């Protein structure tokens, strides 16, 4: 006998081998066929008729169940197949564990009278599932089926107790007894995939357990759970997630960023259930990591902003990008710790004990406040090295400029230090620090409401205070826009007033009566609303003949 599936076997079905238990089902079917009496009561003509009926039934079942049906090689000339049956759940189902033992107590030996009165005694919530593992029906058709005998069958449900699966077998026997001499495999499969649901669940809730130490009285055709509930529940949850991902990959979705449609295989589904195409997510994550704004690296949906998990970032960023993200995330976490300082020599993170810190890499001992060598007993300016005052930097510039006759190598090194200090002074002069994370931010234009790309918080660029909306500017403390000077005037006006003045439409004076009007559109031929005179908006002269004024010999164009 061979267990190699034919071409109708499902390709890539998640967890099929574990939940179907094909080898065990085959062994039990072999035992049933060996113990059955020999089919010698029917004539050869009846056997041929049964064979044709079986062939037609297999073709019909294969057309109905498709990839959920596996047809194996014949077992000693008998047809042998297996059908995986799935429940069509409406939404999620809540799974509870019954932890009661046979004596009516819980596994811990405690009893709770309040829970017993509520009818929930011994029930513990386990999880919510969108998909349940399949119930598999494995059949072996004897030569006398359907005229005289029922098919040999095994029902497998690895997530149910064997007594529950045995009740399924009893129902299948009852269906055969009601329909003797007829094809019953489809009726069996239809009942298992539909009507059996009422036997194990109600109101989208299902109770599993309790664990039984013995399967006495169970039907030999029933294969149930062989693991304890604590081990079976995680497998069920994993199967549900994999089936959900499989359904997602096969369906078509619309990207919330570029609005393109594609199959789920080209999408990334986030834990918050928002999905975006892989190209948009790779560009989105790459830009944030390149700019160092890992704090704002979240779900692109503006109403969600849930954090992206590390497995998703590893897939989108690749090895080098993910390593940079880890480094930036670690640095940002360390920056939020008040007792962490950075070594002024090698820039390694150090744990400060009060104002003193020692670098674990180069063993340099320094002051955590000013970044200089440790100075016990001497006064220290209470400021972080990252926010050193311009006065301190100016002193360093002065000391460096006094040394002009050093050797060439030392002179170049000092020149680099001078350039770094000059750059730092320029940064401190032209930037503002975020009040939340102390990140230096420069404004190139726009209003004074700023957003920090490092921590995502809003603040006022003029007073450096944390804000949440525009109320700070409405109270009159700070202006939303800086004051600007209009070209050709000496008056300072707010930006919104300047924009209003420059965007004010031009008026054109009629040369006949002096009335004014504005021009709508690109037509330069205007008609005065007062005297009905026609005049040109370009030369401001009256137009007597349109063809001559705007014709080939004219100086003006009627439209532009």
**For residues 11 and 96, which has the higher predicted lDDT (pLDDT)?**
96
Residues composing the chain: 560
- Spatial CA neighbour of 86 closest among 249, 228, 240, 264: 240
Highest mean pLDDT among 238-252, 366-380, 440-454, 495-509: 238-252
Q: The whole model's pTM is what?
A: 0.56
| pLDDT tens figures, 335-383 | 777 777 778 778 787 888 777 888 888 888 888 777 777 777 666 654 4
**For residues 102 and 153, which has the higher predicted lDDT (pLDDT)?**
153
Residues with Cβ < 8 Å from 177, sequence gap 6 or more? none
* pLDDT band at residue 138 using 50, 70 and 90 as cut-offs: very high
Radius of gyration of the chain (CA): 41
Residue 213: its pLDDT value, please?
Answer: 62
HEC per residue, 143-206: CCCCCCCCCEEEEECCCCCHHHHHHHHHHHHHHHHHCCCCCCHHHHHHHHHHHCHHHHEECCEE
| pLDDT tens figures, 257-303 | 888 888 888 998 888 889 999 999 999 999 888 888 887 888 988 88
Residue 117: its pLDDT value, please?
Answer: 41
Residue 485: its pLDDT value, please?
Answer: 52
| pLDDT tens figures, 375-399 | 776 666 544 444 334 444 444 444 4
Residue 271: its pLDDT value, please?
Answer: 86
**For residues 535 and 553, which has the higher predicted lDDT (pLDDT)?**
535
Which helix (H) or strand (E) segment holds residue 87: the answer is: none
CB 461 within 8 A of CB 448: yes
Please give the structure tokens belonging to residue 362.
Answer: 């180069």
| pLDDT tens figures, 155-203 | 999 888 888 889 999 999 999 999 888 899 999 999 999 899 888 888 8
| pLDDT tens figures, 409-433 | 566 777 777 777 777 777 767 788 8
How many CB atoms are closer than 10 A to CB 295?
20
Lowest mean pLDDT among 4-13, 512-521, 549-558: 4-13
Residues with Cβ < 8 Å from 208, sequence gap 6 or more? 95, 96, 97, 98, 126, 159, 160, 161, 229, 232, 233
Lowest mean pLDDT among 50-64, 113-127, 240-254, 349-363: 113-127
CA–CA separation, 383 vs 368, rounded Å? 9
How many CB atoms are closer than 10 A to CB 418?
14
* pLDDT band at residue 6 using 50, 70 and 90 as cut-offs: very low
Residue 191: its pLDDT value, please?
Answer: 93
Average pLDDT of the segment spanning 491-517:
65
Average pLDDT of the segment spanning 463-475:
81
Residue 308 has pLDDT above 50, yes or no: yes
Cα angle for residues 243, 247, 251 (degrees, 5° grid): 170
CB 95 within 8 A of CB 233: yes
* pLDDT band at residue 13 using 50, 70 and 90 as cut-offs: very low
Residue 15 has pLDDT above 80, yes or no: no
DSSP secondary structure string for all residues of 371-436: -SB--TTS------GGG--HHHHHHHHHHHHT--SS-HHHHHHHHHHHHHHHHHHHHHHH-EE-TT
CA–CA separation, 365 vs 351, rounded Å? 11
- Phi then psi for residue 136, to 5 deg, are -105, 135
Please report, to the nearest 10 degrees, the dihedral formed by the alpha carbons of residues 490, 494, 497, 501 taken in order. Answer: 30
**Mean of the per-residue pLDDT values for the chain?**
78
| pLDDT tens figures, 55-93 | 999 999 999 999 889 898 888 888 889 999 998 888 888
CA–CA separation, 414 vs 412, rounded Å? 5
């Amino acid at each position: 006998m061979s267990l190699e599936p034919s071409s109708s076997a499902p390709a890539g079905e998640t967890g099929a081998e574990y939940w179907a238990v094909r080898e065990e089902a085959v062994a039990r079917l072999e035992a049933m066929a060996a113990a059955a009496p020999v089919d010698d009561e029917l004539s050869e003509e009846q056997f041929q008729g049964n064979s044709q009926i079986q062939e037609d039934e297999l073709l019909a079942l294969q057309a109905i169940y498709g990839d959920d049906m596996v047809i194996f090689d014949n077992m000693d000339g008998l047809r042998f197949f297996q059908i995986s049956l799935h429940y069509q759940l409406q939404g999620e189902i809540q799974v509870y564990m019954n932890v009661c033992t046979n004596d009516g107590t819980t596994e811990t030996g405690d009893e709770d009278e309040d829970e017993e009165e509520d009818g929930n005694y011994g029930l513990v919530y386990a999880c919510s599932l969108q998909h349940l593992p399949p119930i598999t029906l494995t059949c072996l058709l004897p030569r006398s089926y359907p005229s005289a005998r029922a098919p040999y069958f095994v029902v497998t449900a690895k997530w149910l107790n064997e007594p529950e699966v045995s009740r399924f077998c009893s129902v299948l026997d009852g269906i055969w007894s009601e329909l003797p001499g007829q094809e019953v495999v489809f009726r069996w499969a239809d009942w298992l995939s539909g009507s059996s649901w009422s036997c194990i669940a109600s109101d989208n809730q299902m109770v599993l357990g309790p664990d039984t130490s013995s399967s006495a009285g169970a039907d030999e055709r029933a294969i149930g759970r062989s693991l304890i509930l604590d081990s079976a529940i995680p497998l069920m949850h994993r199967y549900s997630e994999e089936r959900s991902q499989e359904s997602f990959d096969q369906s078509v979705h619309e990207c919330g960023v570029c609005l393109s449609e594609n199959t789920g295989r080209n999408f990334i589904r986030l834990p918050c259930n928002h999905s975006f195409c892989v190209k948009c997510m790779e560009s989105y994550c790459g830009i944030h990591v390149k700019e160092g704004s890992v704090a704002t690296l979240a779900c692109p949906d503006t109403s969600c902003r849930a954090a992206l998990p590390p497995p998703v970032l590893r897939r989108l960023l690749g090895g080098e990008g993910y390593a940079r993200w880890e480094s930036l995330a670690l640095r940002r976490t360390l920056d939020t710790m008040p007792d962490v300082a950075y070594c002024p020599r090698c820039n390694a993170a150090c744990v400060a004990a009060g104002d003193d810190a020692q670098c674990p890499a180069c063993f340099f001992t320094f002051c955590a406040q000013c970044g200089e060598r440790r100075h016990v007993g001497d006064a220290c300016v209470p400021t972080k090295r990252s926010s050193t005052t311009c006065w301190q930097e100016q002193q360093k510039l002065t000391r460096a400029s006094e040394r002009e006759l050093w050797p060439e190598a030392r002179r170049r090194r000092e020149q680099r230090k001078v350039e770094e200090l000059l750059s730092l002074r320029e940064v401190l002069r032209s930037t503002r620090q975020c009040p939340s994370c102390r990140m230096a931010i420069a404004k190139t234009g726009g209003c004074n409401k700023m957003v920090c790309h490092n921590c995502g918080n809003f603040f006022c660029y003029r007073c450096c205070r944390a804000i949440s909306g525009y109320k700070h500017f409405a109270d009159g403390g700070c202006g939303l826009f800086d004051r600007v000077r209009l070209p050709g005037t000496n008056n300072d006006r707010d930006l919104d007033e300047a924009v209003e003045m420059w965007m004010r439409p031009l008026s054109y004076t009629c040369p006949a009566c002096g009335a004014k009007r504005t021009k709508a559109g690109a037509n330069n031929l205007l008609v005065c609303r007062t005297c009905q005179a026609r005049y040109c908006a370009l030369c401001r002269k009256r137009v007597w003949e349109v063809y001559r004024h705007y014709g080939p010999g004219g100086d003006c164009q009627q439209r532009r």
